Amino acid sequence: MTAAPPRTDGWVGDRFGVRLHTGGSVVGWELPELVGLALRRNPRRAHLLVSTVLGKHVPVEPGLVRGAGRLLGLLVAASLGELPADRVRTAAEALRRGDHDPVDALVAGHRPATGTAVFGFAETATGLGHCVAEALHARSYLHSTRREVAGVPVALRFEEGHSHATAHLVQPQPAGLLGGGGPDEVLVLVDDELSTGTTAIGAIRALHAVAPRRRYVVAALIDLRSPADAATLDAFADDLGVAITVVALTSGGVHLPAGLAGAAAAHVAAHPAAPSAAAPVPPVTRVVLPWPAALPEGGRHGALGAEAAAFDAAVSAAAEVLDAAVPAGRVLVVGTEELMYLPLRLATALVTPLRTVRFQTTTRSPVHPVDDPGYPVRRAFRFVSPEPDPDGVPRYLYNATWDDGTDPDAVVVVVDAATDTAALSAPDGLFAALAVLGVPLVLAVVPGADPSILGDRP
């Protein structure tokens, strides 16, 4: 077990005057412990907050990723009056030291009295939302998606204004899954970062039109809203006639000096990322993992709380097959874009006395890398999207390093059936990009559930 990575906000802070400050935390964590500062290659926003516990841009010990998500779920339970806040804080203090057992014990012992459903935002919060749903023993978990699946109706759409990919689709199976708990069920919306609350307002408005509730909870790892933003959310709740509560591991703010966008853009333009080293596509060990056709491998079409035991059993069976193909040593498990939760669970299961594991996923987010210990994204692997019907936007994997900055001994890439395409092994694909590491590569393919079968669930 390891504690959260060291803070990595110094490089951007020293050069551009960006500052993080903690406003408050019911679990005692500081904002710079949970995020580092990087520069975006995105005209909408100059900076990026890189989470140290999400497992997206930074490789993280899988127990910490899952523990942070489950801790957020426990905070939601405390906000609903179902757990004492001091017990959650004690578990958070242990997790901060690298011990996630107290969080796990609280989750196992939690007996919810309030019915909940959980909704996660693509792409970064798909796994985080599933961990929150775990902790709450929620009736269902569903996340938005950027992948439109043929044959599955789109129940609703909403936009995320500042994102690199703004459109969110919601494709539950069955279509009535969203409203299955009735108006008294609490809907918990989960994101990694709550910056202004605008995206949450848009999502609640769209979801409320389809399946109205009386109460909503917005849960995020960090809450960066200004007092004006908070007032806007309160006014929206009053207008809609609902209660909306916000829960976060910590709150605070980011000081952005005048002229930051121009200064950051000038720096990025003057220091282009070095092109990936040319390398032939290395041999890859391909493993097809067993998975039940009627069991969701994630939350794209909805996962039911009643399926949790079956999911755990399926993870164990898949991990047993994968374990035989993965060497000992330091292993990096890589999820692909929205497929975060199942790779996280597999990463957790691969930990043995002879094997240490770190977890992260690929992303659409274009981040400027800087090889400096005070900067969170030290190198970038750019590759063509293996996703179906790609939008022409390249994908990225960042860092892919161990805690001390060295390369892992092996990399396991976990994909679903739709991402198991020839693009992975193309000259400009992910495996060619990873060839520079010179380590064994394993492709783990999860066949996943048949969406047409999922539509027959109650």
- pLDDT for 166: 72
**Exposed e or buried b for every residue in 440-453, given b needs 16+ CB within 10 A?**
bbbbbbbebbebee
Residue type, 360: Q
Beta strands, E only, 256-372: 284-288, 303-304, 329-335, 355-361, 367-368
Rounded Cα distance, 144 and 413, in Å: 22
Cα separation, 451 vs 367, whole angstroms = 34
Q: From the CA atom positions of the chain, what is the Rg in Å?
A: 21
Q: What is the mean pLDDT of each run of 10 residues along the chain (458 residues)?
A: 61 92 92 94 81 96 97 98 96 94 96 96 96 98 93 88 69 92 96 95 95 97 97 98 98 92 89 73 95 96 96 98 98 97 98 98 94 93 88 92 94 97 94 94 95 87
Question: CA–CA separation, 207 vs 344, rounded Å?
Answer: 28
The CA–CA distances, whole Å, from 98 to 60, 68, 301, 425 equal: 11, 11, 33, 37
Ordered by where they begin, the domains of the chain are 10-34+70-255 (3.40.50.2020)
User: What are the start-end ranges of the E strands in 311-403?
Assistant: 329-335, 355-361, 367-368, 380-383, 395-398
Q: Give ∠ CA 427-429-434 in degrees, rounded to 5.
A: 100
Residues 323, 351: contact at Cβ < 8 Å?
no
The span from the CA of 35 to the CA of 48, in Å, is 9
* Predicted local confidence at residue 45, as pLDDT: 76
pLDDT computed for residue 238 by the predictor: 98
- What is the model's pLDDT at position 1? 42
Quote the CA–CA distance of 221 and 125 in Å, as a whole number: 10
E strand residue ranges, 155-242? 156-159, 167-170, 186-194, 215-223
Q: Can you tell me the distance from the alpha carbon of 446 to that of 114, in angstroms, rounded to the nearest whole number?
A: 34
Distance from C-alpha of 218 to C-alpha of 204, rounded to nearest angstrom: 10
Strand order in the sheet with 215-223: 19-24, 243-255, 215-223, 186-194, 116-120, 140-143, 303-304
Distance CA 335, CA 349 (A): 14
Q: How far is CA 5 from CA 26, 50, 97, 376, 400, in A?
A: 20, 11, 11, 10, 14
Strand-pair partners of 218? 189, 246
Q: What is the pLDDT of residue 276?
A: 64
Instruction: Give the integer Cα–Cα distance in Å for 21 and 222.
Output: 12
- String of DSSP letters for 420-438: -SGGGGSTTSHHHHHGGG-
Global confidence as pTM:
0.95
State both tokens at 61.
Answer: 């010990």
Got the DSSP string for 283-311?
PEEEEEPP--TTS-SSSSS-EEGGGHHHH
> Euclidean distance between the first and final Cα of the chain, in Å?
39
Tokens for 75? 């905070």
Identify the bridge partners of residue 383 per DSSP, sorted by sequence position: 395
